[in-house]
Amino acid sequence: MIKIGLIGHPIRHSLSPRIHQLWLSLYGMDGVYTLLEGKTLTKPDLGRYIQDGFCGFNITMPFKTAVIPFVDFPDELAHTIGAINTIRATKNGTEGTNTDALAIYSLLKDCPPFDRVVILGTGGAARATAWACAQRGDLEIKMLMRDVIYSGDGLEKECQGATLFVNATPIGMHTEGGGLGFNLPQSISPKCLVVDWVYFPKETNLLIEAKKRNLRCVSGLELFVAQAQESFYYWFSIRPDTASLTGVF
């Protein structure tokens, strides 16, 4: 039996088992996708999972950076971004990549270049976003520490004229207390694209506010499905049809 797992904390809300279990069944694969929740992660922990028969993993908060030295062969993308969210076990050791970066690149690739990109956050999702924007040739890319939202009008000043605004923090997630956490800056361009990496809830307050202002949006659920597709391909060399997920969420 194929065994795949998600490592992180907290992960009880994750949609990964629902998605990957469906795809495993769709492609006739005898397998199971398991939540491996824990507040800590060590290289021996990863080794024990592999000894127990796991051949692939998704890695989420708070281990995307910490897991890098535990992986035998991180690829160039993982090294560039400084974060790993997908691992496969091979006969020669573990290999790791970053499908977050591939996901957001795929969702932004058909957009015209952004003049000014503002990314809230400095973690793995933020660095994946910055990489994707750099690959696209977007002009100005700025990453902000989340503390800026508590600095008076600091966020408004930093977001002046932004044509892409990305929340790459967990702010707005139900497990982070829900709620918006901060107001969508008024200073962004009226043509701004708003992206929220949070997918729980499926429509965050940030996206609700953006839609009220008639701004284009990319939801965390879209990003989540795109990275899940990239992960499945990394493990099995099969690019699953996302249309198969219609009605799943």
C-beta separation of 158 from 183 below 8 A? no
Work out the angle between the directed axes of helices 16-26 and 220-236 (0-180°, nearest 10): 40
Rounded-to-integer distance, Cα 248 and Cα 117, Å: 32
C-beta separation of 71 from 95 below 8 A? yes
CB atoms within 10 A of CB 76: 8
- Residue closest to 132 by CA, chosen among 123, 141, 121: 141
What lies within 8 Å, CB to CB, of 147 at 6+ separation is none
* Beta strands in 47-162, from DSSP E residues, in sequence order: 54-59, 73-74, 86-90, 93-97, 116-120, 140-144
Rounded-to-integer distance, Cα 52 and Cα 94, Å: 15
* The one catalytic residue among 39, 43, 64, 211: 64
CA 93 from chain center: how many Å? 25
Catalytic residue list contains 64: yes
Q: Any idea which residues carry the catalytic annotation? A: 64
